[in-house]
Amino acid sequence: MTHFLLQPFDKFVKLADFSRKAIKRCCSGDRAVDLLFHFPTSLQRRSDDANNFTDKDKLTVVLKITGHAQPRFKSSPYKVYGETPAGDTITIIYFHYNAAYVRRSLPIDGVFTVSGEARKTAEGIQMAHPDAIAPAASFQYYVGSEPVYPLTAKLTNKTLRYAVNALLKVMPEIDDWIPEDLRQKYELPTFTEAVRAAHNPKTSEDVMLTNPARRRIAVDELLTNQIRLKQIRESMTRMRTEPFQQTNEIIQRLRLPFELTKDQLSCLEDIKKDLASGRPMNRLIQGDVGSGKTVVAFISALIALENDAQAALLAPTEILALQHFYNIKKMSENLGINVDVMLAANRKYRFEQIERLKSGETQILIGTHAVLEEEIEFKNLGLAIVDEQHRFGVLQRLALIKKCKYPNVLAMSATPIPRTLLLGCYGDLDVSTIKTKPEGRKPIETIVIGASKIDELAARLKKMDSQIYWVCPAIEESETLTTVDERREYLTKHFSAEDVRALHGKMKAKEKDDIIRKFKNGEFKILVSTTVIEVGVDIPNANVIVIEHAERFGLAQLHQLRGRVGRGCDASYCVLLYRYPMSEVGKQRLQLMKETSDGFLISEKDLKLRGAGDILGKEQSGFNTLKFSDFSSNEELIKIAEEISRVIDDKTAEFLYKIFSRINEDVVA
């Protein structure tokens, strides 16, 4: 019988169809485990004392409705007056109201439990758009602390809580895969206990990794990762490879428009040695944003080609894959080699593409996750390059290695990680570093301003006559975040409509490509986009980047985004627009961005500031493919996971893969 965790959650929880769909979307899956692994990120306190509540609390009161006041103008709020049993008057306020609806839900003389964000004003306590209106008798249900879950569109915290609790009620005791002695040694609760406790935080510390329940789940995830790393290591050592020598047969015709930097050259030396050794290469190139990793990878690919092998380059987004394709095409102009690109979107040519790969006609294949699909076979893949390595899960790397005839892997990353942690995330690999950037780069000036100054900013930008990236955090997800379309709309008040174009991850590959190309050609001025432009996009003539809700992004991600500018010869600017509320950590991050552009320093600080719970979702966390922990801050947990991994048998390993798979192997693009 299918394990409880792997069965659909709606088998155990009664839900309206649209709720089920919304939960499925929110938890990225429909299995019990998908819902159970969707943990709260904070705790909301609801006070029952109208005379004593703080800014952070919500207020719950029993109200007898005493009056309604519909304003003369639609632009003013609708007010409902009510009285508490203690005799305090509270005003409920609705903007953009539907008067009939309000009158129906809060009729005069009715008595209700009302709960929501409240403010003390000169005219008494006001509560705008209460988040609960319930019968007076359910008062107790809205007092105290409740877990707050990350939500997506069309889903309320209440519905999600209901579903989780209903599922927890029927969850059986699950056989634990971590033996008791190890659990005791590391003070880990059982899996069942951990899941229950993680959904019932008592204090705001309980949603952090320091909480034993969260630690346990993190260990399980890292454990799964460790088992996979072992698998990769084993399969790589089983495979043989042949020494590749640089013959210069192709490389002698290569004409680059620049000289390679000293660090690029020494990286290449490392790679040449690896490839000539006859043992599988497993090397990571670390180099700050814009340090020129791509060309190093390209030359390495040419060495593989000179030895009659093929090369593949895997990129995390379609935009980036296409960009690599165009650049590599250009650099290969007079080399007489065949380069192809494969995206999930263009299925039309798939069959021919596979034929050309199998016959060896295609020598370099660039692509997204589409390259990893089962049906994609190479004739003799001799070098697998993974760009922006941190965006890929272990399983994806494994899938690529399995396609290799000669298992040589070259990974690239702009996010430097301490050596000890490298072992935890990537297993055993060698590292080369590009420290210096190509000469002639102008520093980027970083400006931090409040979002209320947006009009002034737009006016200034208009005068500058620059090409501008304008980044917004989401497309439709939530109302409080500025969306790409809204922002485009706004900007057309300052700029002509043809000068502002929008780009987001959900567009078709061809559309995205078209827009990026036009932007590169200077055909329009402002590219409003989500973070799809985050990694790797290289458009030298754009010299301003505006990042909205900068306070929500992690440092690594801000640095990546900022790295989109400063690539040409003009002075460049990065404008960080923030909004309140902003956490202390958020403030420190923005300050640091202003102070330094040293990627290594930034990632060092990032490790220290991380984990304060302002994660926007896994795409935005910028760093890793883990959901419950983070390679960078969990050296201790990685060690524990490593120890436990030794006692896990193959069957359990398979089960763990299943539990964690849908979460970790999601496509990032």
Q: Nearer Cβ to ligand ADP, position 280 or 290?
A: 290
Could you give the CA distance from residue 554 to residue 546 in angstroms, rounded to a whole number? Answer: 15
On the 0-12 / 13-18 / 19+ scale of CB atoms within 10 A, 643 is middle
Residue 572 binds ligand ADP (CB under 6 A): no
The contacts of residue 101 (CB under 8 Å, 6+ apart) are none
Helices and strands (H, E) in the chain, number of each type: 21, 22
Q: Nearer Cβ to Mg ion, position 114 or 434?
A: 434
Q: What minimum distance in Å lies between the beta carbon of 439 and ligand ADP? A: 7
Could you give the CA distance from residue 481 to residue 418 in angstroms, rounded to a whole number? Answer: 34
Give me the phi and psi of 577, to 5 degrees please. -95, 125
Residue 290 binds ligand ADP (CB under 6 A): yes
Indicate which of ligand ADP, Mg ion, none lies near residue 215 (CB less than 5 to 8 Å, by partner kind): none
Site string for ligand ADP, 263-282 (x = CB under 6 A): -x------------------
Indicate which of ligand ADP, Mg ion, none lies near residue 666 (CB less than 5 to 8 Å, by partner kind): none
**DSSP reduced 3-state for 259:** coil
Place of tokens 């206990």: 193
Q: Nearer Cβ to ligand ADP, position 501 or 567?
A: 567
Closest-CA residue to 237 (of 271, 282, 280): 280
**DSSP reduced 3-state for 135:** strand
Q: Nearer Cβ to ligand ADP, position 477 or 570?
A: 570
Residue 427 binds ligand ADP (CB under 6 A): no
Could you give the CA distance from residue 101 to residue 108 in angstroms, rounded to a whole number? Answer: 13
Residue 538 binds ligand ADP (CB under 6 A): yes
Place of tokens 């930008």: 461
Q: Is the dihedral of CA 612, 617, 618, 623 positive or negative?
A: negative
DSSP letter string over 80-100? EEEE-TTS-EEEEEESS--HH
Indicate which of Mg ion, ligand ADP, none lies near residue 331 (CB less than 5 to 8 Å, by partner kind): none
CA dist list (Å): 468 to 9, 101, 323, 545, 594 = 45, 44, 18, 6, 19
How many residues lie near ligand ADP (CB under 6 A)?
A: 18
- Interacting stretch for ligand ADP, rule CB under 6 A, among 125-133, 165-173, 269-277, 291-299? 291-299
- Interacting stretch for ligand ADP, rule CB under 6 A, among 62-70, 149-157, 285-293, 402-410? 285-293
Residue 317 binds ligand ADP (CB under 6 A): no
Q: Nearer Cβ to ligand ADP, position 177 or 298?
A: 298
On the 0-12 / 13-18 / 19+ scale of CB atoms within 10 A, 29 is buried
Indicate which of Mg ion, ligand ADP, none lies near residue 322 (CB less than 5 to 8 Å, by partner kind): none
Q: Nearer Cβ to ligand ADP, position 10 or 534?
A: 534
Q: Nearer Cβ to ligand ADP, position 535 or 626?
A: 535
Residue 566 binds ligand ADP (CB under 6 A): no
Q: Nearer Cβ to ligand ADP, position 261 or 282?
A: 261
Could you give the CA distance from residue 95 to residue 21 in angstroms, rounded to a whole number? Answer: 29
Indicate which of Mg ion, ligand ADP, none lies near residue 645 (CB less than 5 to 8 Å, by partner kind): none
In the sheet with 381-386, reading across from the earlier edge strand, the strands are: 339-342, 364-367, 310-314, 381-386, 409-413, 282-287, 430-434
Count of all residues that appear for the chain in the document: 669
Indicate which of ligand ADP, Mg ion, none lies near residue 225 (CB less than 5 to 8 Å, by partner kind): none
- Residue closest to Mg ion (Cβ): 536
Could you give the CA distance from residue 363 to residue 381 in angstroms, rounded to a whole number? Answer: 9
Indicate which of ligand ADP, Mg ion, none lies near residue 144 (CB less than 5 to 8 Å, by partner kind): none
CA dist list (Å): 613 to 58, 199, 564 = 20, 16, 26
Q: Nearer Cβ to Mg ion, position 212 or 438?
A: 438
Q: What minimum distance in Å lies between the beta carbon of 315 and Mg ion? A: 9
**Across the chain, which distance is largest between two alpha carbons, in Å?**
90
DSSP H helical ranges for 141-251: 157-170, 180-185, 191-198, 212-238
Q: Nearer Cβ to ligand ADP, position 62 or 295?
A: 295
Residue 287 binds ligand ADP (CB under 6 A): yes
Please, what is the angle between helix 454-464 and helix 484-491, to 10°? 60
Q: What minimum distance in Å lies between the beta carbon of 260 and ligand ADP? A: 5
- Interacting stretch for ligand ADP, rule CB under 6 A, among 62-70, 209-217, 252-260, 455-463? 252-260
Indicate which of ligand ADP, Mg ion, none lies near residue 261 (CB less than 5 to 8 Å, by partner kind): ligand ADP
Contact indicator for 612, 583 with CB cutoff of 8 Å? yes
Residue ranges in 525-554 that form contacts with Mg ion under rule CB under 5 A: 536
Contact with ligand ADP (CB under 6 A) among 246, 291, 629, 664? 291
Indicate which of ligand ADP, Mg ion, none lies near residue 295 (CB less than 5 to 8 Å, by partner kind): ligand ADP
- Residue closest to ligand ADP (Cβ): 292
Contact indicator for 481, 150 with CB cutoff of 8 Å? no
Residue 292 binds Mg ion (CB under 5 A): no
Residue 261 binds ligand ADP (CB under 6 A): yes
**DSSP reduced 3-state for 342:** strand
Residue 564 binds ligand ADP (CB under 6 A): no
Token pair for 269:
């030396």
Residue 293 binds ligand ADP (CB under 6 A): yes
Residue 386 binds ligand ADP (CB under 6 A): no
Could you give the CA distance from residue 537 to residue 564 in angstroms, rounded to a whole number? Answer: 6
Residue ranges in 402-421 that form contacts with ligand ADP under rule CB under 6 A: 414
Could you give the CA distance from residue 356 to residue 350 in angstroms, rounded to a whole number? Answer: 10
Residue 567 binds ligand ADP (CB under 6 A): yes
Site string for ligand ADP, 595-634 (x = CB under 6 A): ----------------------------------------
Give the residues lining the site for Mg ion (CB under 5 A): 536
Give the residues lining the site for ligand ADP (CB under 6 A): 258-261, 264, 287, 289-295, 414, 438, 536, 538, 567
